[in-house]
Structure 1
Amino acid sequence: MTDQAPWSQARLLEFEPESEGEDTRPWGLVTDSATTLWSGEEHDVALERSTAHRGAFTLRTDGPLLHGLPGLEAYEETVHTRTPELRANRTPRRAPSAAPSGAPYRPKGVPLGTTPKTTRSLGPTRRGITSRGGKTLLSETHSTIIDGESRALVYPSSYPYTAVCKLYSSYQPAAGASWVGAGEATGYLIGRSTMMTSGHVGPPTNGAAWAIKVIPACWNGQSVFGAGVVSYVRGYHSWNSDSGSDIKVCQLWDPLGDRVGYFGYRGYNSAWEDGEYWTMAGFPYDISLTSMSYESAIAVRDDDDGDDINVNGTTYDTTQVESDADEASGVSGAPLWGMWDDGPYAIGVHHGVEHDGTVFGTETLSCASGGAGFTQAAAWGRSSWG
């Protein structure tokens, strides 16, 4: 792949995908995770006929029965100069100048959504006034609207929106304790079983158990393809020392990317500055927690140096990719992507906002974590887990 610019907004609007015949989207798919219950290794489980109804069955166990699958492995690196414990016997070496890129994947029969189905609202909304006097949707937490509201709800039945995921985090503080919700966020598939999100996303992992539920193509709280299209995070490797290195790469229990596709990834080129090439999709609180929204025609306005991170024994630089995207709590972990001839490539994972001082005052911009650290983390995850 060359450093040619991604498709312009005019080309995206003019492009008409060819029909591929059979629709292969995973309507009605039921993953292994969707039908899995767990009670802990120390508890016996027996299947018995229910006394309540002849056609029903009961699982008998002396422990709690929980839906889904727990996380098994978590590594979080918060100091960029530290060597990961799993690689402690290796000497870190400085990264080469070239960053890798990974190709996107769209299953044949999953339509390409260069012009997706959109709507402005699902119902009544509360609105407030921005500092510039314009209207904005009110958020329970933070919300950053740049030059007016530019987002819309998008029905995620076409690629690459099928590869954007809703995340629910939870944890069990102690064995036998009630599970505690630990936040909601966004993620996106970058491989068959590999997902990217922000490093700050996820529950505490120092209790009895933790879990991150993953729903691709989420609309109204479940996948558009059915309630059975769901997975959980098996393990992850995470960095988070500044807004350029806020990265978490996750292994899923189920290879969702085989059926819904996944993004490519590549580094940002400063020659693309101010071009309205980019799109971001996710689940911001001030639009909808449960139904996907998106913004197109986003321009990157600046790119600053971020902290170095250590990936598989090698140190790589990261980049704070700063844009004019509207954002809010819940969209952390979303992809910032552009379209090329062979499909969509993410150039970063959404982190939050940056406040930069300029001669005209303080400038507020959305920020994604990108650069060589981002692409190397993505490449490591895809090569490790598929």
Structure 2
Amino acid sequence: MGQDRVVSYSSFWNTGNGALDTTLVADSGSTLGYNPIETHQVENHPQLDPWAAENAYMLANLNPNNTGLYYRDRVVSPMTYPWNTIGRLFFQRSNIDNGGWCTGSLVGRNLILTASHCFPWGYGRNRWMRFSPGFGNGVEPYGSSYVSQCRGVKNTFNVTGIDYIVCQLCEPLGDLTGWMGTKWWKDGDSYMGRPWRSSGYPTDAFQGNEQMLLSNITLLNVDFHGRLGKELETRVFASPGWSGGPMWEYIDGQPTIVGVCSGGEKDCSEEVGGCNGIKDSSLYHDVSAGGRLMTDLVAYGLAHWNHTD
């Protein structure tokens, strides 16, 4: 895998003459998806298998803020668009590392979008990442591809509104599966006014071997991360392995990603003074990272990496 390509939060849009890009005043932006099978996009409804955690009823009553951890759907056969654009992203930091996985999504013929904290920042030449779209039941129906390079703001731990990277694949798997579009809005109301879905490969359901789905997600709040990032806050649903998974929905008939699963944080972390002096705050919320930076990173990849050597 190639060198780290760390994006400076402010310099990514620098025009080179010291003037800030005037397109920053735009109200929204997007990148297009692609379905290789159908000329006219229709909303697909794959077979879903309801899943419940052990003792889900009791746990949901004890933790009503966390019901998304206990009740989800399994996508039985994620081989139809756009479900096949979502996949499991394997990684290893070094030869002595046991490795792990996150979730990623195709956003170009050879481009994926995932969380920045999933990338093995700063590790040596033996690190690698490998993406398998439509992964299900431990099977790789479209094969897989290693990652050659990634671009984004470095994040190794924190839950933030800019926790995403775009990565170039060695093989154009999107030619087989298609890919999803992305979108951002300047105002928060455009995110708040509709339900969302999130997809991922969490460890607590089928050991991460199945694509899981949570539908009808309602945002609790949209926090601005500077001018270019957004924290899309929801009730708790994500567990390890879901990181990097898309928050998405059909927008104007097209499956479109608006955020990337970053993780969970305490409500008090956003209060003045943070959680200092607070003995226990059991209220958490999950964050998916979205905003202009996400879509602009994808646009960069489409402009510079949308080819294979």
Query: TM-score normalised to the size of structure 2?
Result: 0.80
Query: How far apart in 2 are the matches of 1:234 and 1:154?
Result: 29
> Which residue of structure 2 aligns with residue 299 of structure 1?
218
Q: Does 1:96 align with 2:24?
A: yes
> Which residue of structure 2 aligns with residue 338 of structure 1?
249
Q: Does 1:237 align with 2:151?
A: yes
Q: Cα gap change, 1:278/1:154 in structure 2, threshold over 3 Å: closer, same or farther?
A: same
> Which residue of structure 2 aligns with residue 311 of structure 1?
none
Q: Hey, which of these two has a bigger chunk of strand by percent?
A: 1
- The CA deviation string for residues 299-320 of structure 1, in whole angstroms up to 9 with x for no partner, is 122101114xxxxxxxx62111
Where do 1:272-291 residues align within 5 Å?
Answer: 272=190, 274-288=192-206, 289-291=208-210
> Which residue of structure 1 aligns with residue 115 of structure 2?
198
> Which residue of structure 1 aligns with residue 275 of structure 2?
none
Query: How far apart in 2 are the matches of 1:147 and 1:242?
Result: 19
One-letter amino acid of the structure 1 residue matched with residue 290 of structure 2:
G
Query: TM-score normalised to the size of structure 1?
Result: 0.65
Q: Does 1:108 align with 2:30?
A: no
**Contact kept in structure 2, 1:295 and 1:325, CA below 8 Å:** no
SS in 2 for 1:291: coil
Give the number of equivalent residue pairs.
285
SS in 1 for 2:168: strand
Query: How far apart in 2 are the matches of 1:378 and 1:219?
Result: 26
Query: How far apart in 2 are the matches of 1:283 and 1:90?
Result: 44
Q: Does 1:318 align with 2:254?
A: no
**Contact kept in structure 2, 1:112 and 1:159, CA below 8 Å:** no
- The CA deviation string for residues 214-233 of structure 1, in whole angstroms up to 9 with x for no partner, is 0100012222x25xx11111
Q: Cα gap change, 1:148/1:166 in structure 2, threshold over 3 Å: closer, same or farther?
A: closer
> Which residue of structure 2 aligns with residue 133 of structure 1?
62
> Which residue of structure 2 aligns with residue 184 of structure 1?
101
Where do 1:152-191 residues align within 5 Å?
Answer: 152-155=73-76, 156-172=78-94, 178=95, 180-191=97-108
One-letter amino acid of the structure 2 residue matched with residue 231 of structure 1:
S
Runs of 4+ more than 6 Å apart: 87-90
One-letter amino acid of the structure 1 residue matched with residue 214 of structure 2:
E
> Which residue of structure 2 aligns with residue 18 of structure 1?
none
Query: How far apart in 2 are the matches of 1:161 and 1:130?
Result: 29
Bigger radius of gyration among the two: 1
How much is the aligned-residue C-alpha RMSD, in angstroms?
A: 3.1
Query: How far apart in 1 are the matches of 2:224 and 2:66?
Result: 24
Query: How far apart in 2 are the matches of 1:323 and 1:347?
Result: 14
Counterpart selection for 1:381 from 301, 304, 307: 301
Q: Does 1:372 align with 2:302?
A: no
SS in 2 for 1:319: strand
Q: Hey, which of these two has a bigger chunk of helix by percent?
A: 2
Which segment drifts farther, 112-121 or 343-352? 112-121
Q: Does 1:264 align with 2:162?
A: no
Query: How far apart in 2 are the matches of 1:90 and 1:127?
Result: 60
Query: How far apart in 2 are the matches of 1:109 and 1:160?
Result: 11
Query: How far apart in 2 are the matches of 1:351 and 1:160?
Result: 21
Q: Cα gap change, 1:352/1:245 in structure 2, threshold over 3 Å: closer, same or farther?
A: same
**Contact kept in structure 1, 2:68 and 2:214, CA below 8 Å:** no
